[in-house]
Amino acid sequence: MQSYLSRPRRGFTLIELLVVIAIIAILIGLLLPAVQKVREAAARSTSQNNLKQLCLGMHNYQDSVGSLPGGGNSLHAAPLNGRVGPWSYAIMPYIEQGPFYDQFAAFENTGSPQNYTVNNPTLPAQFLNPLKVFLEPSRGRSGVGTNTGASMGPLTDYALNVNVTGMGSATDANQINRGCCDYNNRIRLEQIPDGTSNTILIGTKAVSRAEYQRNTGNSWDETVIRGQGGASRSSGNYRQDPATGNLDYWGAPYSSGALMGFADGSNRMIRYSIANLTNQQCVTTTCGTVNPFALLLHPGDGQTNPNLD
């Protein structure tokens, strides 16, 4: 005889399961935006730290050498042996990348050719690792060019404002970098007419989302051991990373703006909305509507407090 204390065990009904699943889905929907915001804030904090290190590396380079490094040329190059290299390679001893710098300089001094391409894939394996200080974390890039059909080595998400190192007097931001790739300019921070706190020195360059996983270092996404192109920028064109394209302008994956490092060592998030995209280079009313972002790139436009609202 069945005990009156013994009762059949009752499971969840289908409706109860559906209700629980619906509640979980709602909670996930509410939490995801918050998680994404936390992740983006963490990435931005890392990127700010990267820019801080890079700008301070430029300061320390000037203190040691006597002037700022320039944009470099189109070849791999090591300043130690008299050749010219880009800013990103030149400052390595000042951003805790001394071993990479010394090893690459020693490799260059062996007389090995400077272009590492499909016809000459001689770049040693130790130079084919990404350098995190040069990478914007929100993009999730592998950060190194390994394809022997183009320039090999670590890639950079940050570019030099060559309007500073190739300082000129034109009123158009695209015309003042005539000496952008000349190492003999020997510009010092104290020579920036508008002041270091009003002039971008290093900023985040635009990279299309289709290029995030590329494995080549050429055109406008060059390596940190190769000059010009991806290691520098001058244009006042400024916008969020698009879906496709090989890009010669500034930008970031963030929806509101991109981080820019100023010549005084500080960095700020600059909104895309301040840029006049119909005439990106204009810094005086004589050429049309002034682009406030171009004012931050121009070292001597006379505007020491551009309106960024």
So what's the pLDDT on residue 117?
Answer: 46
Q: Please say if the pLDDT value at position 33 is more than 60.
A: yes
Most confident residue range from 43-52, 73-82, 221-230: 43-52
Long-range (24+ apart) CB contacts under 8 A made by 270-276 are 270/238, 270/296, 270/308, 271/308, 272/238, 272/239, 272/240, 274/308, 274/309, 275/236, 275/237, 275/238, 275/239
Which of the pair, 43 or 90, is modelled with greater confidence?
Answer: 90
In this prediction, residue 96 carries a pLDDT of: 92
CA distance 33 to 57: 36
Residue 150 in this model has a pLDDT that exceeds 80: no
Q: What is the pLDDT of residue 245?
A: 85
Give the pLDDT confidence of 240-282 residue by residue, as tens digits. 999 988 888 899 999 889 999 999 999 999 999 888 777 787 8
Q: What is the mean pLDDT of residues 103-122?
A: 61
Among residues of the chain, what percentage have pLDDT more than 70?
77
Res. 127: pLDDT tops 50: yes
* 178 confidence band (pLDDT: 50, 70, 90): very low
Dump pLDDT digits (tens) for 277-306: 777 878 877 777 888 898 898 888 777 777
- Residue scoring higher pLDDT (13 or 155): 155
**pLDDT at residue 1 is higher than 80:** no
What pLDDT is attached to residue 241? 93
Beta bridge partners of residue 202, listed in sequence order: 160, 261
Q: According to the model, what pLDDT value does residue 73 have?
A: 66
Task: For residues 180-207, give the mean pLDDT.
Answer: 81
State the pTM of this model: 0.81
Arithmetic mean of pLDDT, 129-154: 85
Q: Which of 262, 274, 261, 204 lies closest to 233, judged by CA?
A: 204
What is the average per-residue pLDDT within 62-90?
73
